[in-house]
Structure 1
Amino acid sequence: MNDLSTVKPLYPGAFPQPDAGEDNAPYPKAPLNLTLGFDLETFQIPLEELMPSKKVPDGVMTTRKFKQIVSSIREIGLIEPLSVIKPDPNAAGFLLLDGNLRVLALKELGQDTAPCLIAKDFETYTYNHRINRLSTVQEHYMLRRAIDKGVSKERLARAFDVNLSTINSRINLLHGICPKAVELLQDHQFTPDVTRHLRKMKAARQIEAVELMIAANTITAAHADALLKATPPEQRTDYKPPQPEQPKGDPLEQIVRLEREMSQVQEKYKHAEENYGSELLNLVVAKGYLKKLMENEAVRSYVARHASEILEQFELVLNTVSMEEAVEQAEREEGPGGNPFQMFGQ
């Protein structure tokens, strides 16, 4: 590689060249049984000298994946250096082997340089096709470990460009899932909605449902929901057997309330019984006085002209019949055993 003024080592002196007579070098010396694919040093290279190795699809900068890359770099920096190669030793510029989206993200964040590993041979190795992605369970463990080390949920949400509820669902992914079902899901990708449905099943049914989804190669929320609906009620954790209908309220409280109401009724009845005689006497006297008064045509005519509503009340009093009078009148009209309440329109 030709040394250019714009290309600077990120950690100068980290890998010094050993002297010819030095026997205790910190890393192997030639002859080696293998060839290193990259220089040991990491270099800071200006972004303007990096040429893309492939055309970036249109609209990629509006995708969720690109936004997550930008958020991650903004929050915690670039974790993995770019992989580049110098196609022509005598010409300026480097060809990107891996990291086209990261270069766009760095440019969007206003960065001028990027850490790069310089490859020694332009091989046909495809970087993104030979890596193992994190499974959903491994991602859960990674987030739990980050939380245990003091990283806040808010910072994780900013780094992954997701809302806080998404982080919480990922952190609580395996809550209520039996260990055997977790072991079966260890190497698979799935959404948190899958475990949300599994959480409503008992342990034996969880294992059975996971095995069915793995056999069908469809570990999806729709499949888990269908299995949940097909689960017998006794194998569900959210099933509550029907309870016999209980009387509303506390029986003792109802008895106390009933006794209180009966006591009030008795007090009112006792009061009415004590005042019945005097009130009945007053009614009889008032009725007799009004009867004589209304028999006077002059008085009746005067009251009718000037206070007709008072006349109506007087007539109601005159037509009032006591219980004893009603019984006697009924016996006269219908004989013994007649219904006295017919006098009151009942």
Structure 2
Amino acid sequence: MDGGGLKGSVARAFEPAGIQLRIDQLQMLRPVTVKVRRSKKFAQIVASIAEVGVIEPPVVVRHPKNPNTYLLLDGHLRIEALRLAGAEEVLCLVATDDEAFTYNKRISRLAAVQEHRMILRAIEKKVPEERLARALNIDVVTLRQKRRALDGVCPEAVEMLKDKPVALSAFSLLRRMQPLRQIAVAEMMIGFNCYSRSYLMTLLTATPESQLVPSSRPKQVRGLTPDQVALMERESAHLEREVKVAEQSYGADNLHLAVTVGYLKKLLAVPRIGRYLRASHPDLLDGLQKITEADPTGA
């Protein structure tokens, strides 16, 4: 094996060891506003640091011109909480690349299912409920509700939604459905990229009684007659079939779009073609340019 023709080794994303830095050596890339400091998330971070310290080290990169300064890529709220608490130093991870997209877009969001698993793992390790509640800046009653949030939800639906922005309280609606319906609803939420409790309530209302667990038929929705609810059930079933059909052709359609976009970009890059379309078919040119701006990856 020649490693598929790859040359060299994979570059490190971080320096081998963390480094203890003074907080005044860190240069924030964005300000922490008064509104953010008053937010529930910031209060939770302050409470967590006060109770157990900094669990996830902030990420920095060396300043290209000033050797005594480090640019803060990830951890602005943690650093602000430490600063307000009077801390002077913090252990940081030193990145080798100065891009912050990965942390802001791909890492720094804790989904409800992940939070639930974190709570269960902490309880399994005999962390007292009172201390865990203080670290999360919630009361013990809320902690126990979070701990039981996924009871009655099938493992397949939990796995599908594990990294999605679903409110933990929304799972109380999901558990009213039979497992197969839970999976179908999870597929629709993912397919339409809609995870709100109101959308889930709509899907629950449109669920036939045969697909609900006993005694879980939702109360009559204000403003909807039984006939309208029955219509919603039929429309929901039709929508579910359409989603499955779309899923079957999604890969091929996406490939065709990628090829088409690439071809149009090359075509419009030819000066003679661009001039002709601009002079004779400006509306067509505008439409083609919009197609070339499409992102086949859906990112």
Q: Same fold (TM over 0.5)?
A: yes
Structure 1 counterpart of 2:25: 49
Q: Which residue identity lines up with residue 99 of structure 2 in the other structure?
A: T
Alpha-carbon separation, structure 2, partners of 1:210 and 1:37: 34
Note closer, same or farther for the CA distance 1:217–1:89 as it changes in structure 2 (3 Å cut): closer
What does the per-residue CA deviation read over 1:206-263, in whole Å, with 9 as the maximum and x for residues that have no partner? 333333333332222212222323333344334399xxxxxxxxxxxxxxxxxxxxxx
**Within the alignment, does 1:95 sit opposite 2:68 as a pair?**
no
**Within the alignment, does 1:129 sit opposite 2:102 as a pair?**
no
State the 1:82 CA deviation: 2.8
Give the one of 134, 155, 165 matched to 2:141. Answer: 165
Structure 2 counterpart of 1:245: none
For structure 2, the 5+ residue unaligned runs are 1-7, 218-299
Q: Which residue identity lines up with residue 54 of structure 1 in the other structure?
A: R
Give the one of 146, 153, 169 matched to 1:177. Answer: 153
| Higher relative helix content | 2
Q: Which residue identity lines up with residue 185 of structure 2 in the other structure?
A: A
**Within the alignment, does 1:156 sit opposite 2:132 as a pair?**
yes
State the 1:64 CA deviation: 1.5
**Within the alignment, does 1:230 sit opposite 2:206 as a pair?**
yes
Alpha-carbon separation, structure 2, partners of 1:48 and 1:189: 34
SS of match in other structure, 1:59: helix
Q: Which residue identity lines up with residue 97 of structure 1 in the other structure?
A: L
Alpha-carbon separation, structure 2, partners of 1:235 and 1:176: 14
Alpha-carbon separation, structure 2, partners of 1:105 and 1:38: 24
Alpha-carbon separation, structure 2, partners of 1:64 and 1:214: 27
Structure 2 counterpart of 1:188: 164
Alignment of 1:1-346 (within 5 A): 33=9, 36=12, 38-87=14-63, 92-119=68-95, 123-126=98-101, 127-131=103-107, 133-239=109-215
Note closer, same or farther for the CA distance 1:55–1:189 as it changes in structure 2 (3 Å cut): closer
Alpha-carbon separation, structure 2, partners of 1:237 and 1:130: 36
Query: Does the Cα contact within 8 Å between 1:74 and 1:159 map onto a contact in 2?
Result: yes
Q: Which residue identity lines up with residue 196 of structure 1 in the other structure?
A: S
Q: Which residue identity lines up with residue 18 of structure 2 in the other structure?
A: T
Aligned-CA RMSD value: 3.0
Larger radius of gyration: 1
Query: Does the Cα contact within 8 Å between 1:47 and 1:103 map onto a contact in 2?
Result: yes
Alpha-carbon separation, structure 1, partners of 2:142 and 2:75: 27
State the 1:150 CA deviation: 0.6
* Higher RCO structure (Cα 8 Å, ≥6 apart): 2
Alpha-carbon separation, structure 1, partners of 2:157 and 2:13: 41
State the 1:70 CA deviation: 1.0
Q: Normalization by structure 1: what TM-score?
A: 0.52
Moved more, 186-195 or 150-159: 186-195
For these two proteins, the number of residue pairs brought into alignment is 209
Q: Which residue identity lines up with residue 212 of structure 1 in the other structure?
A: M
SS of match in other structure, 1:145: helix
Alpha-carbon separation, structure 2, partners of 1:215 and 1:33: 38
What does the per-residue CA deviation read over 1:60-113, in whole Å, with 9 as the maximum and x for residues that have no partner? 211122111111111111122233344367764443333222221101112121
Structure 2 counterpart of 1:312: none
Alpha-carbon separation, structure 1, partners of 2:167 and 2:66: 50
